[in-house]
Amino acid sequence: MLGYHVPDPDEAMLVSGGRHGVKDGGAPFKVIIGHGTWVMPFFRKVRYLSLAMFEAEIGERCVTKQAIQLDVRAVIAFKVANDTQSIVNAAQRFLSEQEREMSVLTGRIFSGHLRSIVGSMTVEEIIRERQKLADEVLVASKVEMSNIGLWVDSFQIQHIDDGNLGYIAALAAPHNAAVQRDAQIAQAAAAQLAAQAEQESQRKQAEYQRETAILRAQYQRDIDKANAEAAQAGPLAQANALQEVLTAQAEQARKQAELREQQLQAEVVKPALAEAERVRILAEAEADRTRIQAEAAASNNRIALDQLLIEQLPEIVKQASVGLSKANLTVLNGPDGVSEIVNGMVGQGLTVFNSLQKALSSNNDQPAD
């Protein structure tokens, strides 16, 4: 818009003309920052002063307290201060060629103070306390920079060199030796740790290989066992079947033996027992006969003896029949066979009776002692 002016955010607008200086206490122009204003054409003039950051580099050969020359390079970051008075001071000095003139003047100011402060310090102090040197130079230059309306944001020393004198290198030699020694020690320690790590790694690998071999052997053993069991399954089943057959055959043989034993009991043992019983009865009868004969001879009573024999005859026959009843007899011709057995028994009884009579008679005919 015609007649209305607005400065940039990093600029200060300077409006000159009229009687502004008397009204504002001696300021030759009006300073406007951050907003616009109306300016009467032809009667007022507008100029702009940058408030942006500027940079200046310096490189000076300085002489230390020990008369040793050092080449020092530094960088200065500065700008026009934001207050009205600083803007007025800077505008009156640098408005025509702001950037070049501010950089040159700032460099000269800092160079002078840098030479002065380096001359009061030793090389060792400068090397060890570089920030202290920068702070002292910054403090010493602050007043002069403020007088020309400038504000220093930072002052950094970039490089310090003694040329080819070797003084700084000599100062650094013990430290370099210590650093190299520490580096060698660290390298040796690192090598030792690496060797230990390698040994530990090899040990773990060996343990892993051993455990793997053991597991493989166990797996192979289980596989071999399973294969062997599978291979033996057929013969084992056959053996079990054969064992069952043999057991069944043994059981059958045992039953056959029991049956044979029962048959022997029926066919041999019981008839033998019956025969033995018959012989026993005959022996008992013979003993009774002898006893009766002796008794009769003693009493010389033939009638009593005969009567006794007659009385004992039924008992003899009865005992013979009892013995025969326990025998396992087979009758082949029915009732006739039974009659023959009974007649035989009676005949045997009479035979026994006659034998007893003859024996008693013989005994009675013998003369007495």
Structure tokens at 91: 């505008």
The Cα 351–Cα 345 span in angstroms is: 10
Q: Is the pLDDT of residue 342 over 70?
A: no
Tell me which of 324 and 76 has the higher pLDDT: 76
In this predicted model, which residue has the larger pLDDT, 364 or 228? 228
Q: What is residue 309's predicted lDDT score, i.e. its pLDDT?
A: 59
Q: Residue 346: is its pLDDT beyond 60?
A: no
pLDDT score recorded for residue 74: 93
CA 216 distance to own-chain centroid: 19
Q: How far apart are CA 343 and CA 336, in angstroms?
A: 10
Question: Amino acid letter at 245?
Answer: V
Percent of the chain with pLDDT over 90: 10
What is the residue-averaged pLDDT of the chain? 79
Q: Has residue 93 got a pLDDT over 50?
A: yes
Using one digit for the tens of pLDDT, what is the confidence trace for 146-173?
998 899 988 999 888 888 888 888 877 7
Q: Name which residue leads in pLDDT, 352 or 198.
A: 198
Torsion of CA 175, 181, 184, 188, to 10 degrees: -140
pLDDT at residue 200 is higher than 60: yes
For residues 270 and 326, give the distance between their C-alpha atoms in angstroms, rounded to a whole number: 8
State yes or no: pLDDT of 39 exceeds 80. Answer: no
Q: Which residues pair with 54 in a beta bridge?
A: 78
Who wins on pLDDT, 285 or 328?
Answer: 285
pLDDT given at position 344: 63
Q: What is the pLDDT of residue 108?
A: 92
- Work out the average pLDDT over 90-111: 86
Res 1: pLDDT: 45
**pLDDT (average), residues 305-323:** 61
The position carrying tokens 């009579």 is 357
Task: Out of 33-42, 114-123, 171-180, give the one with best mean pLDDT.
Answer: 114-123
Q: Cβ(46)–Cβ(5) under 8 Å?
A: yes
pLDDT given at position 350: 61
| Residues making up the chain, counted from first to last | 369
Residue matched to tokens 């008369």: 67
Q: What is the pLDDT of residue 368?
A: 46
Residues forming beta bridges with residue 4, ordered by sequence position: 38
| Contact of 88 with 50, CB cutoff 8 Å | no
Name the more confident of 89 and 43: 89
Q: Which residue is it, tokens 């090389």?
A: 123
How far apart are the C-alpha atoms of 59 and 158, rounded to whole Å?
A: 10
Percent of the chain with pLDDT over 70: 77
